[in-house]
A and B are shown apart, each in its own frame.
Chain A
Amino acid sequence: MLNNKRGVARIIEAFLATLLLIGCIAIIPIYSAKTQPHDFSSFSIETLTSLDNNGELAALIDAEDWEALRSCLSAAIPLTLWYNLTVFDENMNPLNPFALCSSGTVSDNIVSVDYLSVSPSSTFTVYLLRLQLSQVGSQ
């Protein structure tokens, strides 16, 4: 009778230990997986919105000054992040003649954000900017 009770206690102990272990290990990856892409997407929009303040972004595209656009992005995006920007016109034709991206190895998890930019010049023109962001190096 005493032996049986000790067995039950061990089973309960084992279950509790397993649950504790599972709980701890399970929470960490879920938390990091859920926050990272969302943060990237907010960061992308914030970066593009601030660069587009006073229509600077669209003005650079109007002038087809791709190098200046790349410089702006390189200054605004941290070195720990990889980026790739593609500029499309209203009919989704790509406008930049070469890739506007940073160097470095890219992780599997890439966040892509679309941003519409209206040119403040007297000709109403809409551009679609697709910015892809990823962590550098972490595979």
Chain B
Amino acid sequence: MMKRSIRTDNKGQVIVITALLIGLLMFSTFVYVTEVINQAPAVETNQNELFPQYQQNLKNTLISALANITSDNNTQVLTQDLERLNQIFSSHFYGSLLQINYTLANTAPYQDGLWISSGQENHTAVGAQVSYQLFSVGKSETSNVVGNVTIASEVYLSGNSSQIDQATKQGNLTLQIFNEGMPALASNFSCYYQDGAQWVRIENFSFTDFGTGTYEMVFSAQLSQPSDPLTVAIYVLDQRGINMRVQAACQSS
């Protein structure tokens, strides 16, 4: 067995300890730098968070414009609101450079982004359709998203009538409301029937709400000319604040 000498053996140990110390020093420096970087407030816009937000707001903008158009008939509101939305969006997200373009749908039944068929026989639709392109340049990523948003409120009205006496007819109406093709609820109704050239408001009617976007109404109408067909018009305000007028001639049963 070789005789160990402290003078020769401790040289290796000193180097080992030195290596460990240097390693620890490097590690603590690394940890310190990492912590400092993490604590610095960072401003960043994540593209994946931006697009659903834009889509949702575009949807709300279209609903707002349709609510406005159906009460004021000012169709310019749609373009004005979209311009304002894009301006606010572009200026707000300072973490990335945004370029937003939109196109109003011009394929039937839409014209200049709008589909308004209010007052039609048995069916009325009020809608808006916009396609958009959102180009975003961020610090770490660039993305381009294309999509389109459609908002459409529709109401269907059908009915029949039966003669009760010489001058009175009973009308039975069925009303269905849809938002984007799905059954939706209404928040307000006003019903009228036509007597000659005049529209008479129906004050008393029995009303059934099935809770599925389908409503039934039964009412009596006094007609000056009993031979005239019973024509009704209903003003519906859906839960999004969009006004619609639907008209129907009740079939005699």
Contacts and interface: CB of A to CB of B under 8 A. Distances in A.
- B-side interface size class: 35 or more
- A-side interface size class: 35 or more
Given A18-B20, A26-B31, A115-B53, A90 B88 contact: yes
Interface in B53-81: 53, 56-57, 59-61, 63-65, 67-68, 71, 77, 80-81
B23 A22 contact: yes
B67 A26 contact: no
Contact of B64 (A11, A19, A121): A121
Contact of A114 (B20, B48, B67, B92): B92
Contacts of B77: 124
A11 B15 contact: yes
B59 to A, nearest CB: 8
Contacts of B16: 10-11, 14
Report whether over half of chain B's contact residues are helix, strand or loop; otherwise say mixed.
helix
Most chain B beta-carbon neighbours within 10 Å: one of A6, A120, A126: A120
Contacts of B201: none
Contacts of B145: none
Contact of B85 (A7, A11, A118): A118
Shortest Cβ-Cβ A-B pairs, 3 listed: A7-B12, A18-B23, A120-B63
Interface of A: 2-3, 6-7, 10-11, 14-15, 18-19, 21-22, 25-26, 29-30, 33, 37-38, 41-42, 45, 48-49, 52-55, 58, 90, 108, 113-124, 126, 128
